[in-house]
Amino acid sequence: MIAIGIDPGKTIGLCLYDGERVLAAEQCTSAAEAVRWAMSWWLQHPEAVVAVEWPRMYGVGGNEIADTCAQAGWIWAAMGGANPPDEGVSNGLRALTRVEVVSALSRRMGQQVRGDAGVWAAMVELHGGKGVAGRKPSKKEESGPLGLLAGKPHAKAALAVAFVAAKS
């Protein structure tokens, strides 16, 4: 299954993933630009599910998390989300909290995945391991399954969201 992962925040990460490899990755600072990227990919792959990492506050949150919450809602609506995200899939959209993403990766790995570094390590392991997964494209060989994410840390977070959406 093809999935488009979106990781909202000060820098928004986007990842187009086909269930085995990253097809495209972007990051930007504008929600409108993020929606344009996601919509262009969705037009190319209308069967794709669009998964938005849905922010949650588990205590006191500051302005940055409040802005991310508002941004996620705006992206959800701009992408055509008709129902509140907690009601499941809406018009090909799916909202996944960080806890849901980490829990799904932990089940897949058979061990607890912790933090951003743990999420990335799980993605690398699930895509061929070090030296293979993140190999950058060159004139002599094509990129590894995650090679297009090089230099795009926020797109790496979007990959985890796309991966869980594609595999569930």
pLDDT in tens, 36-51: 999 999 999 999 999 9
How would residue 57 be classed by pLDDT, with cut points 50, 70 and 90? confident
Confidence at residue 62, expressed as pLDDT on a 0 to 100 scale: 78
Closest by Cα among 36, 29, 160 to 99: 160
Cα-flanking dihedrals φ and ψ of residue 59, to 5°?
160, -150
Which of 53-57, 83-87, 145-149, 150-154 is predicted with the least confidence, judged by mean pLDDT? 83-87
| Predicted TM-score of the model (pTM) | 0.91
Q: What is the CATH number of the domain that holds 142?
A: 3.30.420.10
Confidence at residue 92, expressed as pLDDT on a 0 to 100 scale: 84
Domain range for 86: 3-167
Rounded mean pLDDT, 64-90:
81
Q: Give how many domains the chain has, as a whole number.
A: 1
Q: What percent of the chain has pLDDT over 70?
A: 93
